[in-house]
Copies of this chain bind each other. A is one copy, B any other.
Amino acid sequence: MAALAFSHEGDSSLSAPTHVRINDCNLHVATVNGSGSQTANATLLRAIFQMGVPVSGKNLFPSNIAGLPTWFTIRVNERGHLARTRTNDVLVAMNPETAADDIAAMGPGTVTVVNAGIPLPELPSDRTVHVVPCGKLVEPIVPDAKLRKLVVNMIYVGVVAHLLGIDAEEIDRALGSQLGRKQKALELNRAAVNAGLEYAREHLPPAPVRIERRSLTDGKILIEGNTAAALGALFGGVTFVSWYPITPSSSLAEALQGYLERYRRDPQTGEATYAILQAEDEIAAIGMVLGASWAGARAMTATSGPGFSLMTEFIGYAYYAEIPAVIWDIQRIGPSTGLPTRTSQGDLLSAAFSSHGDTKHVLLFPASVEDCYQYGMQAFDLAERLQTPVLVMSDLDLGMNVSMAEPFAYPEEPWDRGKVLTDEELDRVKTFERYRDVDGDGIPYRTIPGQRHPAAAYFTRGSGHDEQARYTESSETYARVMDRLARKHETARRLAPGPVIDRAPHAAVGLLSFGSTAWAMDEARERLREDGLETSHLLLRAYPFHPDVRAFLASCERVYVVEQNRDAQMAALLRMDMPDLAPRIRSVLHYDGLPIDARSIVERVLHGEREEVVAR
């Protein structure tokens, strides 16, 4: 790659780079939290999307309302590799506090746009740096100093559009769809974009990475996982939501509240076919869900780490008393408060065994925004069919960042509310025993409070109970009920979504991913293939594990379980479940709060394989 000279205000070399990469680059924008850079970044992202080129955006934000550093990364990749990558091609450095580090992290051949006034570090000559006087450019456009702060970021939108070759028209359209209703804001922002664009055209050479029109995003949508989950719940027929605010789950509840308000409240009467309550804490949130679900609502809550920990006692209750409940855990980095705005898959073990005593829970692992939508519905069906809590283990990366997807399909099936006996059915079946395993699958039948039938009523409790829901301290009965619950957990293996397997014909090595880890897998496998390592892949979608998971493990000599936590938590669950296959399980772990990238996977798998050779 050609070494480019430093360019300062007005003296950039305008010659085009000698080697140009098309539709494959990473743009990194460093700004100050609360400075209104979201609109700028979203405009760039959307414009690229509208050019038909696959794109993803990741927001790296602080646990702060305003003033601390924040970053936004846009990855463009026409082959659809949209996970995070560790290196950036273009940097926009708007934050004086982090600029030195941000710039220092840029490698050879990269381009940096830096706001004028930010001191520049000494740099090797193969990094291009463009100093752009953003403030000066925006001044004539926005006379009001306070407002100016919010518009100044649009300057770099124009600059980047020029550098990468993003269509000005698409920028304009993207801006329009975002600010459509605010005419004045739209005009100011437009003017600022143009000022940036013009400045760049005049002073700066295009970057060695460029974007060209394709038609790979036709008909597609851009959406965040939490919004998708909210949509799933909406179409899944949710009737009750209780929640307590906590990042990164709040946006799920808030999106859902918005949709419900709009689509499930009669505009004439004002009557709603749902209720959503902000509880006083997460103990109350899950308590309300259990009460509502017991009484027949489709009830859910969404939370994250600390809130999830607080739900522990009630989750154990729901397991034992067999009450359906849908709990979205949008995982963030723990332990404790941890890094509340960083992503993680660190809650697996505490979720799987949440609460004292012999409990094991059903977990789902959405790996895409489509999954969020689908599980938004299916989690209800599953919880009601199994009469147990279903924990949907999403994470910040999936929940709060936008992804591309095919538009979601309208559900063609009705809901499945599981084994509920109506009064008419009670008349037919004659005897009703709340906790009897009538069908041999461990799942009993239930009635709904308020049913008039004299046999319908039963007593729900977290203490020892027999098949007829009566209090008992009998050892045999206790053990019998626990055995049935274990049987029900076995049934869950087949009711929950099975894995998605891509087996390479002669591969000895398997990779196993789940949740947002999956995003980097295609890319990682491609690179491994380039390095001569064919791999099979299993995308895990639920715990307890489907029998196909076992078959996959059995068919590989080694399986690398890729996960975003320190303690190899998924590997632990697999080892527990399949001790005979435990020795073939390896781990690829990533736990710094940043989304995992393909290179990390490739490096660690190759390292593991080298060790394997040495060991043999």
Contact = CB atoms under 8 A, between A and B. Distances in A.
Contacts of A463: 63, 336-340
B353 A357 contact: no
Contacts of A566: 358, 482-483, 486
Contact of A342 (B475, B482, B579): B475
A119 interface: no
A350 interface: yes
B63 A356 contact: no
Contacts of A306: 313, 316, 356
A576 interface: yes
A592 B583 CA distance: 32
Interface in A565-600: 565-567, 569, 571-572, 575-576, 579-580, 582-583, 585, 591-594
Contacts of A130: none
Contacts of A357: 305, 333-336, 338, 344, 346-347, 350
A305 B316 CA distance: 10
Contact of A473 (B341, B346, B358, B572): B341
Of A344, A356, A358, A463, chain B has the most CB atoms within 10 Å of the CB of A356
A333 B313 CA distance: 14
A356 B334 contact: yes
A356 B360 CA distance: 15
Nearest to A477: B592
Interface stretch (A272-280, A317-325, A364-372): A317-325
A580 B579 contact: no
Secondary structure of the A side of the interface? mixed
Given A309-B313, A358-B346, A358-B565, A462 B335 contact: yes
Contacts of A569: 358
B310 A335 contact: no
Given A310-B312, A339-B464, A582-B582, A359 B355 contact: no
B347 A335 contact: no
Contacts of A462: 335-338
A176 interface: no
A317 B339 contact: no
A62 interface: yes
Contact of A62 (B342, B354, B473): B473
A356 B479 contact: no
Interface in A289-318: 304-306, 308-310, 312-313, 316-317
A335 B308 contact: no
A310 B340 CA distance: 22
A567 B483 CA distance: 10
Interface in A14-56: none
Interface string A541-571: 0000000000000000000000001110101
Given A305-B356, A341-B473, A576 B572 contact: yes
A335 B309 contact: no
A311 to B, nearest CB: 9
A413 interface: no
A349 interface: yes
A488 to B, nearest CB: 13
A529 interface: no
Nearest to A310: B313
B334 A593 contact: no
Interface string A144-172: 00000000000000000000000000000
Contacts of A336: 313, 316-317, 319-321, 355, 357, 462-463
A478 interface: yes
A108 to B, nearest CB: 22
A558 B350 CA distance: 29
B360 A355 contact: no
A579 B580 CA distance: 9
A476 interface: yes
14 contacts: A306-B356, A317-B335, A319-B336, A320-B336, A331-B356, A334-B355, A339-B464, A349-B349, A358-B591, A473-B593, A475-B594, A576-B576, A580-B582, A582-B582
Interface of A: 62-63, 68, 304-306, 308-310, 312-313, 316-317, 319-321, 329, 331, 333-342, 344, 346-347, 349-351, 353-360, 461-464, 473, 475-476, 478-479, 482-483, 486, 565-567, 569, 571-572, 575-576, 579-580, 582-583, 585, 591-594
Given A335-B357, A478-B592, A486-B567, 13 more contacts: A63-B473, A309-B356, A310-B313, A317-B337, A320-B335, A320-B338, A336-B357, A339-B464, A339-B478, A342-B473, A358-B566, A479-B592, A579-B585
> What are the 3 closest A-B residue pairs judged by CB atoms, nearest first?
A334-B357, A336-B462, A582-B582
